[in-house]
Amino acid sequence: MVSARVIRNLKKEFRNSALAKIGLVLVISIILIATFAPFVATHDPTAQQLDQSQLPPIGFSETAERTSSQMVDGEIQTVTETVEITPDPDHVFGTDSLGRDMFSRIVYGARTSLAVGVLGTLLAAAVGVPVGLLAGYHRGTVDDALMRVADVSLAFPSLVLAVALIGLWGRAAMDVPDPFVVAGLAPEMPESFVLPITVVIVVGLVNWVWFARVARGEALSLRGQEYVKASRALGASDNTIILRHVLPNAITPIIVLGTVQVAAIILLESSLSFLGFSGTTLSWGFDIAQGRDYVSSGQWWISSIPGFAIMLSVIGINLLGDWLRDALDPGIEGEGGAA
């Protein structure tokens, strides 16, 4: 399916674009970090060490106001003292309010984001692409019906819809055993990874429409191609034509959309976690939420570092998507012969 010319375009676009290189680096980094999380993380991200709470990241010294009850002159008084807190080299990104290592939480958070992002996108595509292809190919009442459903779906802001669905279905999560830890290769890390299933299903359902639209658009234009007519003349059934002729030729914009959707779903998942609607607490969004109360008192890193992580992920994926789109531009594909 991928012709030599496509590969050549990909390489050419990549060579010429610094942004594409940045994107690829970012994305590959995230994938590696997420996959090998047990090895990259320095601590168990769920381990609380209350005496080590609120440590700043390396390089930053924080002054904080500590309020405590002390005995002063025989009376119990609340004393506020300004304490200087120095970072602990053991915790590169500092710790959160419960003393959990921020760096490790970021690393494991990458897993959550990537897992939800990819699985959610696959689900959205699995629902949206067939719907779109059928609607675009058959047109008429099938198209009308399916697209009305899509319109209704689009009428709801995705976050609101997601929240509503989670409210309905709860925050079920699945414990996925971590192969590295189970094999004994990283004994201190948690044995299973919590995959928020409902969130995956919800984000998939919320975003299927984008795939449906793109697929439908492609199917609409491809159905008029003469090779589709030729296939029918040979006796192919509609389903055969859709699978063998329409889908392969429509796949390019769908792939480009897919990459961009992963970024969008990561953002959506982060928003849901932020609002407390996720089935897992090991998520960038959750950390932003929990750090919200501490920003004004000076512990900015608990919210900001996860925020940066989200930002870099989304930027990386979008740059990658741009590269793919430029390289796979339909104007280049499919032409040829004497001019």
By CB under 8 A, residue 229 contacts other proteins: yes
- 330 contacts other proteins (rule: CB under 8 A): no
Tell me the C-alpha distance between 102 and 93, whole Å.
Answer: 5
Shortest Å, Cβ 215 to other proteins = 16
Q: Is 1 in the site for other proteins (CB under 8 A)?
A: yes
- Near other proteins by CB under 8 A: residue from 216, 223, 245, 325: 245
Interface with other proteins, residue 339, by CB under 8 A? yes
11: contact with other proteins by CB under 8 A = no
Positive or negative torsion for Cα 78, 82, 88, 94 = positive
By CB under 8 A, tell whether 337 contacts other proteins.
Answer: yes
SS3 assignment for the chain: CCCHHHHHHHHHHHHHCHHHHHHHHHHHHHHHHHHCHHHHCCCCCCCCCHHHCCCCCCCCCEEEEEEEEEEECCEEEEEEEEEEECCCCCCCCCECCCCCEHHHHHHHHHHHHHHHHHHHHHHHHHHHHHHHHHHHHHCHHHHHHHHHHHHHHHHCCHHHHHHHHHHHHCCCCEEEECHHHHCCCCCCCCCEEEECHHHHHHHHHHHHHHHHHHHHHHHHHHCCCHHHHHHHHHCCCHHHHHHHHHHHHHHHHHHHHHHHHHHHHHHHHHHHHHCCCCCCCCCHHHHHHHHHHHHCCCCCHHHHHHHHHHHHHHHHHHHHHHHHHHHCCCCCCCCCCCC
For the CB of residue 114, give the shortest distance to other proteins in the complex, in Å.
Answer: 30
Of 231 and 290, the one with the shorter C-beta distance to other proteins is: 231
Is residue 243 within the footprint of other proteins (CB under 8 A)?
Answer: no
- CB nearer to other proteins: give 158 or 252: 252
Question: Binding of other proteins at residue 141 (CB under 8 A)?
Answer: no
242 binds other proteins (CB under 8 A): no
Among the residue ranges 196-204, 210-218, 233-241, 260-268, the one whose residues contact other proteins (CB under 8 A) = 233-241
Residue of 104, 112, 231, 281 that binds other proteins (CB under 8 A): 231
Q: By CB under 8 A, name the one of 225, 275, 304, 312 that touches other proteins.
A: 225
Q: Are 204 and 131 in contact (CB under 8 A)?
A: no
Kindly tell me which residue out of 232, 276, 307, 312 binds other proteins, with binding defined by CB under 8 A.
232
Measured from the CB of residue 238, what is the shortest distance to other proteins in angstroms?
Answer: 11
Structure tokens at 266: 């990561």
Binding other proteins by CB under 8 A: which of 145, 227, 297, 308? Answer: 227
3 binds other proteins (CB under 8 A): yes
Among 71, 76, 183, 234, binds other proteins (CB under 8 A): 234
Which residue stretch of 22-30, 34-42, 98-106, 245-253 sits at the interface with other proteins (rule: CB under 8 A)?
245-253
Residue burial 302-336, b: 16+ Cβ < 10 Å; e: rest: bbebbbebbeebbbbbbbbbbbbbbbbeeeeeeee
Nearer to other proteins, 76 or 339 (CB): 339
Which lies closer to other proteins via its Cβ, residue 53 or residue 221? 221
Told to check if 236 binds other proteins by CB under 8 A, we report: yes
| Residue 338 sits in the site that holds other proteins (CB under 8 A) | yes
Tell me which residues touch other proteins (CB under 8 A). Answer: 1, 3, 5, 12, 225-227, 229-236, 240, 245, 248-249, 333-339
